[in-house]
Amino acid sequence: MSRISTSWSIVLSFLALLILNVANTHAATKTPEPAICDSSSIIATTPEQLLELANCTELVGDVYLNNINSVELNLFNVTSIRGMFQIHLANNTQRFSAQNLTSVGGLFMVAGSIEGGSNMEEISMPKFNSTAGLDLTVMPKLRNLAFPSRINNPNPAIRITIMNTGLESIDGLNIDYDQIQQVYFGGNPNLKDINMSLKQISVNLDVDGAGAKPNISFPNLEYLNTANIHDISAAKFPKLATMGGALGVYDSSNLTTLEMPALTQIGTLTLSVLAIANNSGLEDVIFPELQSITGGITAENNKNWRRLNGFPKLMLVTDDINMKGAYTLVEFPMLYNLTGNFEIDSSSGLSYGCKDLEKMNTDTSKPFVCDPYGANIFRPSDSQPTENKQSKDSGPLTGPKITGIAIGCLACVVVPLILFRFIAGRRRKAKLREKDIYNRNWNPVDYGSRSLPSSRAELPPHAMEGPYEMPPAKIRQELVGDIPLHEIDGMTGGKRSMDVSAMPVPDSPIERVSTGGRFDSDVSRLDSDVSSDDEYNDSIAHAFGDPENHTTTPKNMIS
């Protein structure tokens, strides 16, 4: 029994060690729980740094994979990236895979090196369905895309750029944006068809099909701002109704028909143009619903476009129509308002100008306008018709016209009256001033026995009788004329009864003062109010009467 017990003990110990070893091994190889990695910017430049992202399910911030030296780039567990996601490829990278990635909050970009090229051949993102924009550039070996889910975005998208790739089709690129700013295709020599389900392109559509000459189709597009289309074989825009800017179709030798069946307007707020040039295979241009162009039309070097009759409803063009070609038929039956020149030159010998355009016009209910020197001003297409087509400026008197005429007549009456009153007033004032000068009363004025008509000091009688010594302070007071009367009375004493009429009259105010005694003073103070000979004579006349008649008794001497 003891031997059996020992055997069982050994077996149990061995099993315990085995279980412990398995548990430790499992714990060592167990992958940590995926987590949210939060950073404003996540940059990986080595394979080791890329592996660290395998523990993250969500990356918060912008993610950059820059020149990682690896044949394959793989994000195993990442399901969403909230910021931008940019991959700058190393030359040896051939595949990129993100099997669980569903959304990128910003722009998603994969770009090869312009200098060294790229060997990228495959991009696999089976669950990817949301991004603000997509850039695929400089990957000449990339043939196909595997984006089976439809790609959309709740907000207006930024752009789609497919440039310098080896793509043969974009059928695997299921983009379904309602609105996007820019779309660019260029340098894709193997891309024969471009078909996208977009509804609005708010800035620009640019297609350069050099090498491939693709067929382009935008079956759901309703609004397009501007478009530059080069080297294509066909263009289909069945629902396009409005263009905010210019439309240019160039260098498309394989294009035979250019048709916009629903387009009604080209250009809204800015001066635009419909430009069709260097399309050697073009035979027909059909815009059956086009009514207005805020801008002009230019066409040149479309040698097979002979029938210029594809604008049956065009009524308004705010710039020049300048077309050169081999036209044999020219028709603009509804064009009545052209703020610019009308010039069509045909190698077949036909030439058209404004007079020819007027003859074509069938809508005689509206005033015809063709202005070779137009100011490129938008003229509304609903201009009021006139009864007599020859007198374009005549018309019924409406409310604004009557108001303008009344204001003009009133101004013709009021303005002359105001001018007349102003001139008459100035003349009247001039006459009054002249009358006041020549009719002024210059007779002497009696200001009383103790005042003079100027600031000169009044002279007491003792100042004219004999030498008299006066203190300097009193002299100053006497000069400025502020000696109190009782002091003057005290100075004269009993000398009031003297006969002043027998005294000789001084010849000047200075002489009047100098007779008072021996003193030197600034006599200019006495003459501070006299600025001319006339004023000097006036002061003598007022103080002593007429200086030529010496028998007159001075009026201002103290009696």
Q: Which residue has the higher pLDDT, 415 or 400?
A: 415
* Residue showing tokens 């190889």: 29
Percentage, residues of the chain above pLDDT 90: 44
Cα separation, 186 vs 189, in Å, equals 9
Range of 490's domain? 461-544
Enumerate the H helices of 345-471 as residue ranges. Answer: 354-360, 399-438
Confidence band for 461, pLDDT divided at 50, 70 and 90: low
The pLDDT value recorded for residue 121 is 93
Residue 82 in domain: yes
Do 245 and 183 fall into the same domain?
Answer: no
Segment 167-195 shows an average pLDDT of 92
Looking only at the bridges linking them, the beta strands covering 242-243 and 85-88 are unpaired
Specify whether 133 is located in the same domain as 256: no
pLDDT at residue 411 greater than cutoff 50: yes
Instruction: Provide the pLDDT confidence category of residue 19 given band limits of 50, 70 and 90.
Output: low
Torsion angle defined by CA atoms of residues 499, 502, 507 and 508, in that order, rounded to the nearest 10 degrees: 0
Residues 267 and 186 in one domain: no
Least confident window among 72-81, 117-126, 366-375: 366-375
pLDDT, mean of residues 324-350: 88
Query: Does residue 432 lie within any of the structural domains?
Result: no
Question: Rounded mean pLDDT of 340-346?
Answer: 88
Residue 396 lies in a domain: no
Structural contact between residues 271 and 319, judged by C-beta atoms closer than 8 angstroms: yes
Whether residue 9 is contained in a domain is answered as: no
User: Of the residues 366, 384, 402, which one is the last residue of a structural domain?
Assistant: 384
Same-domain check for residues 250 and 214: no
Look at residue 30 in the predicted model and tell me its pLDDT. Answer: 45
- Give yes or no for a contact between 183 and 163, defined as CB atoms under 8 angstroms apart: no
Same domain? For 199 and 57 the reply is yes
**CA distance between the termini of the chain:** 175
The pLDDT of residue 545 is above 60: no
Beta bridge partners of 234: 215
User: Looking at residue 39, what is its pLDDT?
Assistant: 77
Give the lowest-confidence range in 93-102, 144-153, 265-274, 292-301.
144-153
Q: Are 63 and 83 in contact (CB under 8 A)?
A: yes
The residue from 191, 221, 251 where one domain ends is 221
Ranges 9-13, 324-328, 414-418, 493-497: which has the least confidence: 493-497
Residues 378 and 315 in one domain: yes
**Shared domain check, 251 and 206:** no
192-211 pLDDT, tens digit per residue, is 999 999 999 999 999 999 88
Residue 366 lies inside a defined structural domain of this protein:
yes
Q: Are residues 248 and 199 in the same domain?
A: no
pLDDT of residue 529: 44
pLDDT-derived band at 149 (thresholds 50, 70, 90) equals: confident
pLDDT at 484: 59
Residue 255 and residue 318 in one domain: yes
Same domain? For 168 and 256 the reply is no
Residue 543 in this model has a pLDDT that exceeds 70: no
When mean pLDDT is compared across 261-270, 325-334, 362-371, 503-512, the lowest value belongs to 503-512
> Nearest-CA neighbor of 158 among 175, 138, 140, 137?
175
| 474-496 as b/e: b if 16+ CB within 10 A | ebebbbeeebeeeebeebeeeee
Q: Which CATH number do you get for residue 203?
A: 3.80.20
Contact 482, 516 (CB under 8 A): no
Spatial distance between the Cα atoms of 225 and 202, rounded to a whole number of angstroms = 5
Q: Band the pLDDT of 487: cuts 50, 70, 90.
A: low
Give the three-class secondary structure for 69. coil
3-class DSSP state of 402: helix
- 481 against 402, higher pLDDT: 402
Answer whether residue 378 shows pLDDT above 70.
Answer: no
Q: Evaluate whether residue 326 is within a structural domain.
A: yes
Lowest mean pLDDT among 24-28, 129-133, 149-153, 240-244: 24-28
Name the pLDDT band for 481 (thresholds 50, 70, 90): low
pLDDT level of residue 6 (50, 70, 90 thresholds): low
What is the pLDDT confidence band of residue 141, given thresholds at 50, 70 and 90? very high
Q: Domain check: are 261 and 192 in the same one?
A: no
Q: What is the count of structural domains for the chain?
A: 3
Mean pLDDT of 236-244: 97
Same domain, 498 and 534: yes
Task: Report, as an integer, the average pLDDT of 117-138.
Answer: 92
